[in-house]
Structure formats: C-alpha cells, structure tokens
Structure 1
Amino acid sequence: MAATVGRICGARLLKNYGLVGPQVCQLSTNAQGWTKSRKLLLSTLGVIGGGAGALLFALEQSVDASGTEAHPYHQPWSHNGWFQSLDHASVRRGYEVYKQVCKACHSLQYVAFRNLVNVTHTEAEAKAEAAEVMIKDGPDEEGNYFERPGKLSDYFPSPYPNENAARAANNGAYPPDLSLIVLGRKGGEDYIFSLLTGYTDPPAGVALREGQNYNPYFPGGAIAMAQVLFDEAAEYSDGTPATASQLAKDVSTFLRWCSEPELDDRRLMTIKAIGIFSTLAAIVYYYKRHKWSSLKSRKLAYKPVSKK
C-alpha cells in the first residue's frame, strides 16, 4: 500500500495538496530511494553478521573435535522427532533399573512418586512404591522427628543424608542427582547410553588413580563410578531379556522422562495447535480475500478538468 501511494506521489497526482503530498511520499519503502552509502552500510552489516555466525559455529565444532573424550553416537530413540512419544514400557523398565541399580548412589530429588501415576504405574502401584520408602517427617507435638511410609506427594529420597556423607562413601566423588542429568549433559540420552556402555581398559600411557575407571565418553577419561550395568544386572518384571545394552537403553529413556515429564503432553499440544492454527489461517486468509477483493480489483481513473 505504501509503495502504491509512493507511485501516486511520484506521478504528481497529489500536487495540488502541498501538505499531504510530501508526508505521503515518505511512506514509500522502495529500495530505489536509498542512498548509496545506506545500501553499502546495510550490506556490510549483513556480511559481518553472517560471518560472525559462521565463525561461532566453526569455533564450536572445532572445540568439540579437539576434546579428549569420545563423542557419543546418536541412537535411534523412539521419541526422536516432534511428533513421537516416549516408550512408556521402556520408561517403566528404566525405573526398575534405577530402583535396583542406580538408587544406591544417585538421587532423584525433583521427581515425586505421583509423577509415576498413569505414566509407568497405576495409582495403586505408585502408592505401593512410595510406601516401600521411609520418609523422615516432623516435628511432632513433642518436637521429635520420626519416620513414616512414603506417600504419593513425597519426592524420591536421597540415599545419603548430605553431600559429605555421599563423598565419604564414594572415595571423595559426589554422585550427581539424576533428575535433570539428560538436559544437563551435552548429547542427552545419547551421552548417558554411551557412558554406561563405554567402559574399557585404559590405553597405554594413561594412569588412573586408585578407585578410578576409564571411560572414553567421560571428560578426561577418568571416572569414579565403576561399571554397574552387566547382563542380568537387574530383573525386569515383564520378562524382557536384561542385557547390558537393554538396561542402558531403558534407564536412559527413564532419565529423559525425568528431565522432561511433560514431553508427551507438550508434543500432543503441538499437534493440536498446528491443527487449530492451520484452520484459523485458512479462515483468516479467506476473510481477507473477501474483504479486499473489491478494493484490489477496482479501477481508478484520473480525469483532469478541461479548461474552458
């Protein structure tokens, strides 16, 4: 519209309106009216911005390639893609792996037992899982703390009372909380899977201190956590063969769910939003064509007044 008004002004059709003409002509967005210096400035800024972005990308890739740790392979997870959901059977098996293997050292302080309901367990099963844990509560009327069976509203308790106790039990190493570990590590579940299955003997020239193990996927290679996943290291309630890779795959999927428990709901909402906004876009486009068709198809003719 602004370009059309500019062309009208350029044709001097509004020359009799001295105040309106210059103001309307300023609305033109035609690039032909730009000065040479302005075009040069904008071109320079575009080249500099694109070059800076390419440089940052190249530097990030070079830094990753220059690291000493191995890069995890991308696994064909069933929840890859915008419209794929988590494998809930795998999430349940991953919870069993965490309960039988990982729970002894690692906590899930941001996950509550109620989060398991209708995801991996029924409400009754989740209540039974919570009741197996003793939660420190209080104080009571006499000011004493006591222990009680867990409830759905309770969060997974830490295996250690504090950080110092955790370090003392693990030769000075502090086992990290696993609630957000997938989001907190580059590579996500690919990194977790590769780390759990990547233990090997240290190469020649690499010296490890007592209590350390070699894992090429861990930064520096020396990790305090020993290999914990072996064939039949845990038992599945559904009878799935508990190989080391299966255990690592399931617990990685479970930890992905712990980091994003709303993942399935968010993707389902994305599908709904795409459908709703697609319909609204079609309606708005039709309404726009309906309203503007008469204006865009009309013809304007300029008939100068004849001099008599």
Structure 2
Amino acid sequence: MAALSTLFPVFFMIGLGALARMKKWITPEQKDGANHIVFNILFPIMIFNVLLTAKIESSLIWIILYVFIAFILTMVIGKLLSGLTGKKFAHISPYLLTTTEGGNVALPLYTSIVGLGYASNTVIFDIAGSFIAFIVMPIMVAKTTAGHTSVKELCKTILTNSFVIAVCLALILNLTGFYTYLSHTSFIDVYTNTMTQATAPIVGMILLIIGYNLKIKKETLPSLMKLLIVRFVLFAGIIAGFFILFPHMMADKIYMIAVLIYFMSPTGFAVPMLISPLNQSEEDADFQSAFISLYMVITLVVYTLIVVFIY
C-alpha cells in the first residue's frame, strides 16, 4: 500500500496529461506555455530554495563527489554509446542516462520502508544531482544551442541563465550562513510560505506535461529498450561502486536500501524540460516521456524485491 500511495499520484498525473492530449483539453501551445512557466520561473526558485536550505556537511563531501562524477560518466558513456542506443535520439539520449528523481520517487519509497528519520540518506545524493541538473546541463544546453558564437557571447548566455544565477546565489548565501541567520528571525515563516507557494505546482505540472508528451511509437521501442538497459547497467555499476568505496556504510542495511532505491529510480522529472531547447521534433519529447514512464516499472520491481527479500 505504501508503494501504491507513492506511485499512484505520479501515474495519475501522467495519465491525466495523456488524456488531456487525446481529448484536446490542452492545445500544444498551452502545453508549451506551461512548460515555459515551469522552466523559466518556477524551477529556478525551487533549486534556489533546495541549495539554500541544504546542509552540506564536510563528512559527506566524498559521497557527493562520487555521485557527481558518476553522473558525469553516465552522460559521457551515453554519448559514446549513442550509435548503439539509436542515432536518431543521440542528441538527447545521454541526458536521460543521468540524475535520478529523488524527491518525488526515491525519497517517498525509501521512507515508506525505513521511516522519515532516515530521509537524509537519499537527500544527500540529490545535492550532486542538483549540480548536474541545474549547472552542468544548462551550460551544456546553452553551449549547444548557441551555435558558432564567440566565447564572450557564450559566457554571457551561460551567466545569464536563470538556473546558473539561482545556483550561484543560493550557494553563496548558504556558505555565508545567511539561511541560518534567517531561520532565527521572524521572517523565516514568510520565506518558507513563499517558497511553498511558488514551488507547489511544479511536480504536478511536470508530470502533466510528461503525460501529454507520452506517445510510445513502435518504431522508437528498440531505442527505448536499449537505452533502458544501458541506464540499468550503468546505475547498477554506481551501486557496485558504493560497495567498493564505502563498504562500512553499505554494511548498514538501512543505508544500503537507500542506495538501491535511489539509483534504481527514473531519470529526474526535470530533465525533459531542461533539455527541451535541444528537441528537434515533437518525437523527441515523446521519447523522453516514454523513457521516464517505462523506467518507473523497473523502480517498482526493485522496490518490491527489497520489501520482500531484504527488509
């Protein structure tokens, strides 16, 4: 029942988005408008809040660094294997092999098993994922879409990117102790309520858009299945790396479950929006939505196996 309470709302919103497209309740232009609102306004606010309030402890730096490097490598390997997974989607497929949807899939599934007291075990992985999604990806996308521009123009494009600004500002305020100071003042409630109001619609809108774009075409199935297998193998390798590099932590069953669930969860829901400037056709968006939706099945199978055989 815990898995159902976590996954059903996700599939419901995806299904609602697909129904909205089939019934023509939402036009493609309206969907694109919603996409721009989330991507250009709400997402930067969310990542600012996540990084501002994150507790970056020095003892966990090595884990964050490992996950960051691992996520970078998945993109590099994805690029090298783009011929195998399908040249038609080679410009977007490497991005689908990195990051994990921690907040809306991994975290609730994990805490449904071990309880909220251990939530930080998966949240720490999201710090590395946030750097990839909201710094590395925007820079790569900006560089790709900028074309043959000068270094000066490229730097301007990157530095004026709303995600880059949000990340840099949040880290500066975090490391200087601004949030700690704010949390001891009466303005903390104003800040918290404002962030809650601004970020509340994000996940639902993302899932609705993913569902709207969800069209699994027969001709894309070979590429989808190959990419699913590649991601599964790569992330199984990341899990193996935890056993090799952090054996003392993986000896703790509760921590091991966090690693297994997190790195077997789907690509971050934000990725399709982050890389949308790279889309060459509507089929690209369809491919991304289908990939994330299909990987949810793998996540559910892994969750079930952990509940039955490990915990």
TM-score, normalised via structure 1 length: 0.20
- Structure number with greater CO (CA < 8 Å, separation at least 6) is 2
Larger radius of gyration: 1
